[in-house]
Structure 1
Amino acid sequence: MDGKKLEYKGEEALKELEKLTANAAQVQEEILKRILMQNKGTEYLNKYLPGEGSTTFNVQQYKRLVPVITYKDIHPYIQRISNGENSNLITAQPIIEMLCSSGTSAGEPKLMPSIEEDLDRRTFLYNLIMPIINQYVDGLDEGKAMYLYFVKAEMSTPCGLPARTVLTSYYKSQHFKNRPHDPYNDFTSPDQAILCFDSNQSMYCQLISGLIHRHWVLRLGAVFASAFLRAISFLERNWPNMCHDIRTGTLDHDMITDPECRLALSGILSLPQPILADEIERICSSNSWKGILCRLWPKAKYIEAVITGSMSQYIPSLEYYSDRKLPLVCTMYASSECYFGVNLKPLCKPADVSFTILPNMGYFEFIPLGVNGTWSIDLDDEEEEVPTNRLVDLVHVKVGSYYELVVTTFAGLYRYRIGDVLQVTGFHNEAPQFKFICRRNVVLSIDNDKTNEEDLHKSVTVAKKLLEPYNALLVEYTSYADASTVPGHYVIYWEIIHNNNETSSNSMLDPTVLEECCVAVEEELDYTYRRCRTHDKSVGPLEIRIVEAGTFESLMDLFINQGASINQYKAPRCIKSKAALKLLNSNVKASYFSPRDPAWNA
C-alpha cells in the first residue's frame, strides 16, 4: 500500500480502482517483484530460487521453479512459526497473527500467516464498497446501517501468536475501532456488542439496537447470509423480551451479563419507549413473518451479505423475509488467505454476481479447468502436483472458462491453491471478473462417482421446485455418503417449512412428492453418478431425510462450540463429522428413497 493506508475514499477510491484495473498486468508484475524482493532471504524461497543475495528476481524464473502447493506443503513452516521459530522462514515481515479458516468446508481449520500490512490491504478494499454502492443507491448517508457483526474468542499458538478468524482480527484492529465517524460508518450496533465473545449476548444487543433505531435504518446485513438468517430466527424467539426492554427502558433480565454490553445498552435504552415497543410487538406477533424485514425496518434499501456459492441456498429465505422487496447485495470476495475483489454491480441479480479482481491485493494465477460453459477437474486428487506451466496469469484468462485460483502473498504463501473454482464472466479494463462457482474439494463419492458442491447444489435447486405448489420451502440442506449399506448411497438431509411459518409434517406433503424430489436430484447429477446407479448398480437409491425444524441451527451451534466462527460459518454441504451426523440423524422424522433409476444412456 506504500503508506496510503486509508487515503482512498469516495471519488478518490473509484479513481484508484480505475487506475489499478487499467494497468492490471503492470500492477501484477510489480506486486510479484515486490513480494520476491521483500522475501528473498526466506528459507522457503531459498529452496527454489538461486542467488540469496540477488537484488533482482526474474518473474519467469519464479513461475518455472516455485511449485504450486496446497496447505499440507506449507503447514510444516506454519507449525514451526507457531512453535516459536522466526517468521523469516516464509516472510521477511513479522507475522503478527495466524488467521483461522472457517473449518467447515474442508474439515479442520487451517492457520494462515498474516502480517501488519495485510490489514491495510483489507481496509483498502473495504473503503471501496460504499463509493461503489453510492453509484446505484442514493441517500445512504442519511441514516444508519444495521449490520450484524460477530467476533470469536481467540486462541493462541504455542509461542503466543494470536490465532483468530480474519473478521475477528479486523473488528479488533485499530482500523475498525478508529474508523472515520462519517455517515457510512454509522452502525446501529455498538462496538461493545460486536466485540462481545458471547454470540447470544452480542446478537441480542445488536438486534435490540437495530429495533430501537428501526426508523433510521437504511441498510441491513451480515457477512454471510446464514448469519443474517440466524439473526431472524433469534429475533423470532426473543422479540417479547426485547419489546419489554424497550417498553421499560431497562435490561431487567439475566441474558445480558457482559458489563461492556450492559454499559453500551444503557445509553441506547436510556428512556422507556412504550409506543415503539407496541409497534414492534404488533409486527412481530403477526401470523406470518413473510416480509417481516420491510415491516420492521421500513426505510431499508437492501440486504448486504455473501450470497454466492453455498450461500446461494439462503436466497429464497432472504426473499421470503423481505417479500422480494429488498435487493440482495453481495459486495466482495475474500478469504482468510487473501482479499481478492469487489462487485462493481452490487444491485445485480444474485445469479449474476461477479467480482472484479483487484491486482494490488496479491499475485494471482489460475489453473485451467474447462471452457465453453462446462468445467471438470482432471486432477481428482487435490494433493496431486500441478505442472507449473499449466498456470495462467490474471490478465490472460478467457471469458467463459473455468479456473482454480492460486495466490502468492506478502505473508508467505507462494503459489498456494485456494481451492475455489471460478468462471470468467468478463473484464473491467484489464482486470478479469469472476463468478464464484464452488469449493473444489467438497465432494460426495461412493464408487467411481465424484459429486462436487456445485453439482449437488444445482440438483437440489431443481428438486426443491417440486415443493413450491405445496407452499413449502427448503430452508437448508446437507449431505452424506452412506457406505454402511451395500451398495452405499447418497443421503441428503432437508429442513422444510411452510410459508405460514408452520413446520411441515408427514401429512402436509405426500410421500410421492418427496420421492419425486429424490428422482429429480438424481436426474440432475452427472453422467458417472447416473451410470453407477443405473448400469453398474454400485450406488444405491438416493435418500432424502426430513429433519425437525431448528436442526440446522443446532448443527451450527455444534460447529461453533467446536471452534467455528459465527461470522464465517457455512453449513457444510457434505458431512463427515460423526457428532454432526449423530445430531442430524437424531432429528430425522421421515425418510424417502428414489423409487426408480435415473435416466442413463451409454
Structure 2
Amino acid sequence: MEPRAVSNKSNGNGIGNHQHGEFDIITWFDDVSGNAGFVQRETLRQILLQNCDVEYLKKWFGDIKVQEMDACALESLFTSLVPLVSHADLDPYIQRIADGDTTPVLTKEPITTLSLSSGTTEGRQKYVPFTRHSSQTTLEIFRLAAAYRSRVFPIREGGRILELIYSSKQFKTKGGLTAGTATTHYYASEEFKIKQEKTKSFTCSPDEVISGGDYKQSNYCHLLLGLFFSDEVEFITSTFAYSLVQALIVFEDLWKDICDDIREGKLSSRINLPKMRKAVLEIISPKPCLASQIEGNCNKLQSVDWFGLIPKLWPNAKYVYSIMTGSMQPYLRKLRHYAADLPLVSADYGSTESWIGVNMDPFLPPENVTFAVIPTFSYFEFIPIYRQKDFSSAIDDFIEDEPVPLSQVKVGQEYEIVLTTFTGLYRYRLGDVVEVADFHKGTPKLNFVCRRKLILSINIDKNTEKDLQLVVEKGSQLLSKRGAELVDFTSHANMGSQPGHYIIYWEINGEVEETVLQECCSQMDASFVDHGYVVSRRTNSIGALELCIVKSGTFRKILDQFIGNGAALSQFKTPRCTQNQVLLRILNDWTIKRFHSTAYC
C-alpha cells in the first residue's frame, strides 16, 4: 500500500474517518499499522504544524520554519531540541491556562476543558488538557475494539448492553474552564451522544442515570434497568474491573429492593434526583414474573456465595468487558467468581493523557492480553529501561537509554512510554513501563508491566506496584484455603518509626484465625525479592512488616472520600500505596488487628 493511502484516510487530526461498518475500521487499522513508521512521522508533523507558533514550542524552535521541513527532518529536529518532561514541568503552563490565560501557550486551539487524573496514589489530582480530539479518539478506539470483539463474540441485533458508567461533578477553574474527569467530559461530549444515538436501543440506562452525579443512585438504577432488560443484555461493561465488582457487591445487599421495584414497576425512595427518577420511571413497568424469577435465582445464589451471579441473572450475556490489567488485576478473582465460565475481556490501554493501544485478541484472558499501539492517536517514543542490577545505590530504580521511535522498538525489551499529543503535551513521560510482546504488522503490541514510580521505598529498597501485588497474592493464598477472601488492600512506607517498615492494610471477608493472619504477614515479608529490601531486613535497616486488618467497609469509605473530592467511580483506582494523611487516618482508625512479621527472626 502506498503511504499516501494512509494519509487520505485521516481527518486532519490524525484520526481515521470510518462511517461504513465495523470491519472497515479494522481494514483502516491494518493499513496504518503496516505503515506505522510513516504514520507516526506524519502524526508528529500534523501536531507541530498545528501548534508550531505556541509559546512552549517557540521556546525550543525559535524562528525555525517547521512548515518548510519534511516529516523525517522534523522528527529528528523535534527529538533533538525538545526535552523530555514530566507533568511537573508542564504544570506551570497548564496552571496558567486554568487561571484564564487565553494566549496560545500549549496549543493553537483554545483549551476550554481540563481533565483530572485519578490522583488515587497520593490523593492529589493533576490537570491534563482535554480537547475535541480527546473525545474523537475515545469514540474511535471504542469502535475499533468493538469490531474486534464482534469477530469473537457476535451480539444480537437489538440486544442491550448493561453499562455501569458514571459521570462526576464538573467545576470551573479560576479562569472559567470546565474541569472534571476525562470520562465525565466524554459522557458530556457530542461524540458520546452520537454513540448513544446510534446504539440507543442497546444501552440499558438513559443519560440521566449516567450523568446523575450520585454514583450510589446511578448504580442502583443501572442494576435495576439491567435486570429489567435482563434477557436482552448481550454483555456487561464498566470502565474498571473495580467498579464492576463494587456494583455486584452492592447488589448482594439491595437485590430484594430491586426485585420489589421490578415487580411493581416503581422506584425506591432512595432515588431522589428528580431527573434520574423521572427518566427511570418512564422506562420501567410492572414485571411480577421476572421479579419472582430473579428472587428465586438470588435465593439460590446466596447459598453458593453468589458464584455465577452474572450468567444466572443475565443468561444471554456473552462476556464481561472492562479494564482488567495493572492495578485492576487484584479484582479478577472476585470478578471470575461472579462470572463463573463467562469470558472476561480486557478493555483497551489508555491514560488521561492519551489512548495508546487496542486489544485485538479479546479471546485471551486478561493476564495475557497485549495492546496494539494506534499510531495516529499521538506521537510515541519509548525509553529502553533495564532493571537495576547494582542495588548499592538508591538513586534510581531503572537504568535507561535514549528514547527510540515506535518503529525501532524490540520484542522482549521493556520501555517507558513518552507521548506527544494533539492536546499540548510534548515528549511527556507517562510513567508506564511496558514490554513489547509482538508486532501487528508494523505497530508494537504492548504488555503493561507496571508504573515506573517506586511506591514502597525506605532505604535502598525499591518495590513497584507489581512487586507489591505479587507479594499480596502470595500472602492471601492462605486466606482462600480457609474459605476467606481478600476484599482490597493498600500499603504505606512508615518512616515515622525507627527503623522504618512497610505496613500493608487488608480488608478481608470471612473469619480467619489469628495464627493464619500471622502466617500471612510473615509470608508477605519473606516474598519481597528486591535485593535492597532483603539486605535491609537482614541488617534491620528496615523493620518487620506490619499487617493491619481493617473493618469491613473501610475501602468503601476510602472510595467515598475520593468521590467527595470530585473523582468519578468510573475513574477510581484504590491507591496501592499512600502517604495521604486523610486516608491513613481512616485506615488506622478502622484497623481492628495488627500483626508483625517473624520472617527474619
TM-score range, shorter chain: over 0.9
1:306 is matched with 323
- Contact between 2:152 and 2:363, CA under 8 Å: does it hold in 1? yes
CA distance in 2: counterparts of 1:139 and 1:55, whole angstroms: 47
1:219 is matched with 235
Structure 1 position 261 matched with structure 2 position 276:
yes
- Contact between 2:394 and 2:460, CA under 8 Å: does it hold in 1? no
Which residue of the other structure, out of 468, 472, 476, is the alignment partner of 1:464? 476
Q: In structure 1, what residue type is equivalent to 2:273? A: D
Q: CA deviation at 1:182?
A: 4.9
1:500 is matched with none
TM-aligned CA distance change 1:174 to 1:495, over 3 Å: same
Which residue of the other structure, out of 531, 534, 546, is the alignment partner of 2:535? 531
1:550 is matched with 553
TM-aligned CA distance change 1:11 to 1:587, over 3 Å: same
TM-aligned CA distance change 1:280 to 1:194, over 3 Å: same
SS state of the match for residue 481, structure 2? helix
TM-aligned CA distance change 1:185 to 1:396, over 3 Å: farther
Q: CA deviation at 1:97?
A: 0.6
- Contact between 2:243 and 2:570, CA under 8 Å: does it hold in 1? yes
Q: What's the TM-score, normalizing by structure 2?
A: 0.92
Q: CA deviation at 1:233?
A: 1.8
SS state of the match for residue 533, structure 1? helix
Q: In structure 2, what residue type is equivalent to 1:482? A: N
2:588 is matched with 585
Which residue of the other structure, out of 122, 125, 129, is the alignment partner of 2:138? 122
Report Cα offsets for 1:456-476 as digits up to 9, x if no partner: 111112222222221222121
- Contact between 1:547 and 1:588, CA under 8 Å: does it hold in 2? yes
Sequence identity, in percent? 36
Which residue of the other structure, out of 449, 474, 480, is the alignment partner of 2:486? 474
Which residue of the other structure, out of 279, 293, 299, is the alignment partner of 2:310? 293
Q: CA deviation at 1:138?
A: 2.5
CA distance in 2: counterparts of 1:183 and 1:45, whole angstroms: 41
Q: CA deviation at 1:516?
A: 4.2
Q: In structure 2, what residue type is equivalent to 1:273? A: K
1:193 is matched with 209
Q: CA deviation at 1:83?
A: 1.4
SS state of the match for residue 310, structure 1? helix
Q: In structure 2, what residue type is equivalent to 1:2? A: N
Structure 1 position 423 matched with structure 2 position 435:
yes
Quick check: 390-399 or 180-189, which moved more? 180-189
- Contact between 2:437 and 2:446, CA under 8 Å: does it hold in 1? yes
TM-aligned CA distance change 1:412 to 1:139, over 3 Å: closer
Q: CA deviation at 1:115?
A: 2.3
Structure 1 position 435 matched with structure 2 position 447:
yes
CA distance in 1: counterparts of 2:394 and 2:114, whole angstroms: 29
Q: CA deviation at 1:50?
A: 3.0
2:99 is matched with 83
- Contact between 1:247 and 1:276, CA under 8 Å: does it hold in 2? yes
SS state of the match for residue 118, structure 1? helix
Structure 1 position 284 matched with structure 2 position 288:
no
Q: In structure 2, what residue type is equivalent to 1:305? A: S
Report Cα offsets for 1:91-148 as digits up to 9, x if no partner: 1112131111111135411111122233222211111121100111123435211110
- Contact between 2:235 and 2:319, CA under 8 Å: does it hold in 1? yes
Q: CA deviation at 1:518?
A: 2.7
- Contact between 1:407 and 1:416, CA under 8 Å: does it hold in 2? yes
- Contact between 2:547 and 2:594, CA under 8 Å: does it hold in 1? yes
- Contact between 1:215 and 1:298, CA under 8 Å: does it hold in 2? yes
- Contact between 1:442 and 1:574, CA under 8 Å: does it hold in 2? no
CA distance in 2: counterparts of 1:87 and 1:296, whole angstroms: 54
Q: CA deviation at 1:510?
A: 4.5
Root-mean-square deviation (CA, aligned residues, Å) is: 2.4
- Contact between 1:141 and 1:183, CA under 8 Å: does it hold in 2? no
CA distance in 2: counterparts of 1:191 and 1:533, whole angstroms: 54
Which residue of the other structure, out of 539, 544, 563, is the alignment partner of 1:541? 544
SS state of the match for residue 537, structure 1? coil
CA distance in 2: counterparts of 1:520 and 1:378, whole angstroms: 24
SS state of the match for residue 263, structure 1? helix
TM-aligned CA distance change 1:148 to 1:548, over 3 Å: same
TM-aligned CA distance change 1:516 to 1:106, over 3 Å: closer
Alignment of 1:269-418 (within 5 A): 269-270=284-285, 272-285=286-299, 286-287=302-303, 288-323=305-340, 325-370=341-386, 380=395, 390-418=402-430
1:515 is matched with 519
CA distance in 2: counterparts of 1:88 and 1:378, whole angstroms: 43
- Contact between 2:418 and 2:428, CA under 8 Å: does it hold in 1? yes
CA distance in 2: counterparts of 1:485 and 1:170, whole angstroms: 45
- Contact between 1:35 and 1:410, CA under 8 Å: does it hold in 2? yes
CA distance in 2: counterparts of 1:328 and 1:528, whole angstroms: 37
CA distance in 1: counterparts of 2:108 and 2:325, whole angstroms: 35
Report Cα offsets for 1:522-552 as digits up to 9, x if no partner: 3333111010001x21101111111222211
Runs of 5+ in structure 2 lacking a partner? 1-9
2:155 is matched with 139
SS state of the match for residue 438, structure 2? strand
1:153 is matched with 169
Q: CA deviation at 1:81?
A: 1.1
SS state of the match for residue 282, structure 2? helix
TM-aligned CA distance change 1:379 to 1:512, over 3 Å: closer
- Contact between 1:375 and 1:402, CA under 8 Å: does it hold in 2? no
Runs of 5+ in structure 1 lacking a partner? 498-502
Quick check: 555-564 or 312-321, which moved more? 555-564
Report Cα offsets for 1:246-265 as digits up to 9, x if no partner: 111112x4211222212211
Report Cα offsets for 1:277-335 as digits up to 9, x if no partner: 11222222323211111211111111111110010010000011122x11111121111
CA distance in 2: counterparts of 1:391 and 1:511, whole angstroms: 50
TM-aligned CA distance change 1:184 to 1:422, over 3 Å: farther
Q: In structure 2, what residue type is equivalent to 1:274? A: P
What is the aligned residue count?
582
2:569 is matched with 566
Q: CA deviation at 1:556?
A: 1.0
CA distance in 2: counterparts of 1:279 and 1:227, whole angstroms: 26
CA distance in 2: counterparts of 1:442 and 1:198, whole angstroms: 34
